[in-house]
Structure 1
Amino acid sequence: MSDPAASGAPTAAAASAVPAALAVPAVPAVPAVPAAPVTFGIVGRGWRADFFARLAALLPERLTLVGAAVRRADAAEEVARRWSVPAYLSPAELIAKQHPDFVVVCVPWPATPEITAALVGDGVRVLAETPPAPDADGLRALWARVGGREMVQVAEQYLLLPGHAARRELVRRGVIGQPTSVQVSSTHGYHAVSMIRGLLGAGFGPVRVTASQFTAPLLDPLNRDGWTGEETPKDAVTTLATFDFGDGRSGLYDFTDNQWHNRLRLRRILVRGSLGELADDTVVRWGGPRTVLRSTIVRSQLGHDLNLDGHDTEHLSFDGDVVWHNPFAGLRLMDEEIAIATLLTATADWARDAGPAPYPLAEACQDHLVSLAVDQAAATGSGVVTEVEPWGSV
């Protein structure tokens, strides 16, 4: 561990100046290998469900996928072949036959609340895909049915991506002092809100949201399926929104249609604090009397040039101190897979009461509530103020 004074990082006294109410929680640690693999099932069979099945197969000492549930017989046959597990025509049958430690729910938004509530009613812990319900009334109804049981986590992984996890750790350590503002131009809706709230350590209080939308031409050469063949720009909508969380904390949301896949739009993240700011991988901060320091987050990437250890991410460091280490080194995972595997193993640990809740339903409800306020503000042109909801008053 490097000397904070020598590196220009805030002293213990400076770090302790961050109010407890604004403290940024630590990124969940990957649990130790359990004595026996944690078992889970999947409801659904889409693109995201494949991530969970594939990662579990790479982590047999930690996880065992014991079955899947889908609605149609032909889909069940296809899933059984693809994942090499038994497939059933209902979640109830999956639970009755396999008794998994938890179930991942990967179904369309309108179906998620009902399936989640039914599983909780049967005493099964759930990892539900985002969002947990389509709209604000659905969030409230789901919370009324299952919120008090504390049996639901939600599959929000963005702050677990290596770069974001390293940034979050620097904020948690107080490197830039008290976090006051976060700007995100990377992903959409509740994902971006989760990043902003998570980096600020924002709670469940009222949020004032303003939003505007602008249409301009943009070439769209890539989507989830690969190169589109497009060579002519078409209209794309950019949404800009601001968040006022109170206590001097704010957020800026900037998203353009298909920004996830379109490489013609760079991803940007800025975290401002009382002692400096973090912009992507560059950090400026107060280093003492008449001293402002600039440092970078450095990724150690294996497999380049004459490194023969295989193409893999090793760690991310800051001023010679490792701030994130790849818990799945050797599996050659891309960042998104590392984040999902981190969430999945943390959920497995939680399912056996051996670790904390990685992303509870209350946090997911709040993130989606604020995201819905962005949509409303953009559609009406008027500011929206969210209220304190039942999940924020427990």
Structure 2
Amino acid sequence: MTKFAIVGTGWRAEYFWRLGGALTGLDCVGVVSRRRQRELPVPVYTSLDECLERKPDFVVTSVPWAVTPTLVTELVERGLRVLAETPPAPDLDGLRRLWHAVGASGLVQVAEQYTRMPAHAARLALVRSGVLGTPTRVDVSSTHQYHAVSLIRTFLGIGRGPVEVRATRTTAPLADPLDRAGWTDPVEVRPATTTVATLAFDGGGFGLYDFTDNQWHNQLLMRRLLVRGTSGELRDQECVRLVADRTIVTTQLVRRQTGYDLDLDGFDTDHISFGDQVLYRNPYQGQRWNDEEVAIATLLEDTAAWVDGGPQPYPLADGIHDHRVALAFDEAAERDAAVRVPGEPWA
């Protein structure tokens, strides 16, 4: 049994204790809060020392951006393994200080879950199988900043090297019918800012970032992901590729979803396939979890495996680098000029 604790009681923290409680082999031994909260399904402590008496194998830090670096440093100084919510520090100075303080420890992972979402995991399996040849370009229009950079770098198979960023911003009116709390009745048309950025990686590889305010929740905005390789292209659920001379084929990625019509197995994701090849199989069938829940549950299990000597789920160096590149989006848009992200100590 792998034990973990959580510092923080916000909406992100709730995912960890709720999903952890449903996973075999994981036990959330407590949550640290500055004040007593509503009744929770796990013990609540008002001091970190009190919670750490439960001897967790790792600690999830789900606190405001500005608090994260100090808390992570304290936990590492105590010899604890940490899964830090994104981003691990709010600004460039903070990222550099955090790396200087704990980078060499090897005790910190970052809670980047997007590549573990079923659709992205299936796409990534397809790209890594080589059907597109060598990936050369990735376009992401679905999520913001460091999450998008993580997707771009992972699909391209690119490390933490230098990159040149260009960016622009535009603002236009847009109806905003949904936010995190639900329907925004009555619907209002509000100014929405779109940031478009390009990423040119040293040594090859190109990324396009396109994000509009509240794109996570606003269902009027379609999510888009494109991966171009040397022999084909994947766009969302459709793949076109060259398989032989004068032979171009198109194949769909198909999600098998139970619970429709007379399927009485319950609403759930079964698998995602590409022709007769299963790219992704839901490891949590029966839980009825959405894709975000599946991704976070997978991240928790990957972190537990890391504690037991397995591979790192998402090292601190990656989390710092992705946010460092994302910060260049704002800088490039404000300066209306190219911004070069140089090699940093974590690279």
- TM-score range for the pair, normalised by the shorter chain length: over 0.9
Higher strand share: 2
Residue in structure 2 matching 1:70, options 14, 33, 37: 33
Give 3-state SS (helix, strand or coil) of 1:345's partner: helix
Partner SS, residue 337 of structure 1 = helix
RMSD: 0.9
SS across alignment from 2:185: coil
Counterpart AA for 1:84: V
Does 2:272 align with 1:308? Answer: no
Aligned partner of 1:88 in structure 2 is 45
Aligned residue identity for 1:263: Q
Per the alignment, do residues 159 and 363 of structure 1 end up closer, same or farther by CA in structure 2, a change over 3 Å counting?
A: same
Q: Secondary structure at the match of 1:166?
A: helix
1:56 equivalenced with 2:13 (yes/no): no
Q: Return the structure number with greater helix share.
A: 1
Checking the alignment, whether the CA contact within 8 Å between 1:101 and 1:352 is kept in structure 2 is: no
Instruction: Please tell me the residue identity of whatever aligns with 2:319.
Output: A
Q: Give SS of 1:83's match.
A: coil
**1:209 pairs with 2:204:** no
Aligned counterparts of 1:252 and 1:231: Cα–Cα separation in 2: 30
Q: Deviations over 1:326-357 (max 9, x none)?
A: 0111111100000000001100111122x110
- Aligned-pair CA distance for 1:58: 1.2
The answer to whether the aligner puts 1:389 opposite 2:347 as a matched pair is no
**Contact 1:219 1:230 (C-alpha < 8 Å) held by counterparts:** no
Which one of 310, 313, 320 corresponds to residue 365 of structure 1? 320
The letter of the residue matching 1:152 is: V
User: What TM-score comes out, normalization by structure 1 length?
Assistant: 0.87
Please tell me whether residue 103 in structure 1 is matched to residue 59 in structure 2: yes
* 8 Å Cα contact 2:28-2:42 kept in structure 1: no
**2:66 alignment partner, SS class:** helix
- Matches for 1:102-121 after TM superposition, within 5 Å: 102-121=58-77
Q: 1:94: Cα distance to partner?
A: 1.5
Distance across 2 between alignment mates of 1:275 and 1:374:
30
User: CA–CA distance in 2 between the matches of 1:92 and 1:199?
Assistant: 41
CA distance in 2: counterparts of 1:67 and 1:352, whole angstroms: 20
TM-fit CA distance, 1:383: 1.0
- Is contact 1:220–1:230 with CA below 8 Å preserved after alignment? no
Instruction: Tell me by how many angstroms 1:91 deviates.
Output: 2.1
CA contact (8 A) 2:31 2:42 kept: no
Are 2:89 and 1:133 aligned?
Answer: yes
Indicate conservation of the 8 Å contact 1:41/1:100, yes or no: yes
Q: Which amino acid aligns with 1:360?
A: P
Letter in 2 for 1:357: Q
Query: How high is the sequence identity, in percent, across the aligned residues?
Result: 54
Q: Which aligned pairs between 1:163-182 and structure 2 lie closer than 5 A?
A: 163-182=119-138
Q: Report the residue type matching 1:220 in the other structure.
A: D
Counterpart mapping for 1:199-348 below 5 A: 199-348=155-304
Distance in structure 2 (CA, Å) of the matches to 1:343 and 1:330: 18
**Alignment size in residue pairs:** 347
